[in-house]
Amino acid sequence: MNRIEQVFKNKSNRVLNVYCTAGYPKLDSTLQVMQALQESGADLIELGMPYSDPLADGPVIQHSGSIALSNGMTIATLFKQLKDFRKTVTVPVILMGYMNPVMQYGFEKFCADAAAVGVDGLILPDLPQYEFETEYGAIIKKYGLDFIFLVTPETSEKRVKELDALSTGFLYAVSSSSTTGNDKDFGAVETYLQRLKNLQLKNPVLVGFGIKDKQTFESASKHSNGAIIGSAFVKALENSSDIKADTKKFIANVLS
């Protein structure tokens, strides 16, 4: 059983996945942030690889990516930073990023290196289903990595089922059709999550986009297995002089 499966075996509700940007706020803070998240009670970590043109992300995460890039973060640097991270971080880690940098690095080499350092899964929002099925899915599988597809309230039932069948680890339910960090009415979101629940999907469902505090985390968890916090946590680290303390404070607030 891999690390992601283990998490959902032990805990079927209120699973907390927290997003952080590699190389942000400082180039060398990647590991420190991950350790602080684990100590604070995050169940999974989604580690963002910065990109110049992150279409699915809102301004907060894009800004953190710009800072990380100007700090000198690259995929090669990230794998160096992650070389020994499994000595201290035991929670599942999912790399999130965009196709272009991964293709430049070499898709297969990327999967091989990610698996070698102990990464558990990938989220590449602009890798389409067709290309996944015809080309990239087999490579991802070869290295034993999970691949997590996104679904939105606009995704048809038929397509949700298809994407669920292709996903391993969990399914990422985008709370509303929006970029990350957007405020939307959560009432409509609950109806949508209930709809997903009724489909009896193969994978656990984590809800992302617009989850920022205890209240939104609880609402999202009510009809799913848990939620993903991104922009709100990135913002909390913006001017942090004590990453450990600020991370603890932020997560404690969500889980209180």
Partner 1 sequence: MKHTFTSPDTKGYYGKFGGAYIPEMLHRNVEELQSKYLEIMYEKGFRNEFNALLKDYVGRPTPLFLAERLSKQFNTNIYLKREDLNHTGAHKINNAIGQVLLAQRLGKKRIIAETGAGQHGVATATVCALKGIECIVYMGVKDIERQAPNVARMRMLGAKVMPATSGSQTLKDATNEAIRDWINNPTDTHYVIGSVVGPHPYPDMVARFQSVISEETRWQLKEKTGSELPTHVVACVGGGSNAAGAFYHFLDEPQVQLVAVEAAGLGVNSGHSAATTQLGTAGVLHGSKSIVMQTEDGQVVEPHSISAGLDYPGIGPLHAHLFDSGRGKFLSATDDESVQAAFNLCKLEGIIPALESAHALAGLNQLQLKAKDVVVLCLSGRGDKDLATYMNRMDA
- Positions touching partner 1 (CB under 8 A) are 51-53, 55-56, 58-59, 62-63, 66, 69, 74-76, 98-105, 125-128, 130-131, 149-152, 154-156, 159, 163, 174, 177-179, 182
**85: its two tokens:** 């991270």
Ordered alpha helix ranges (H), 132-242: 137-142, 157-166, 186-198, 214-222, 231-236
Pick 156 or 200: Cβ nearer partner 1:
156
CB of 226 to partner 1, least distance (A): 19
Q: In what order do the strands lie in the sheet with 171-174?
A: 146-147, 121-123, 93-96, 44-48, 15-21, 226-229, 205-208, 171-174, 150-151
At residue 58, φ and ψ (nearest 5 deg) are: -85, -175
Q: Which of 5, 28, 39, 46 is catalytic?
A: 46
Q: Is 46 among the residues known to form the active site?
A: yes
CB of 127 to partner 1, least distance (A): 7
Q: Which of 43, 57, 120, 146 is catalytic?
A: 57
With 0-12 CB in 10 A as exposed, 13-18 as middle and 19+ as buried, what is 242? exposed
Pick 55 or 255: Cβ nearer partner 1:
55
CB of 52 to partner 1, least distance (A): 4
Pick 74 or 240: Cβ nearer partner 1:
74
Q: Is 57 among the residues known to form the active site?
A: yes
Count Cβ atoms below 10 Å from residue 20 Cβ, excluding itself. Answer: 28
CB of 168 to partner 1, least distance (A): 17
- Which is nearest to 1 in space by CA: 165, 111, 120? 120
The residues annotated as belonging to the active site are 46, 57
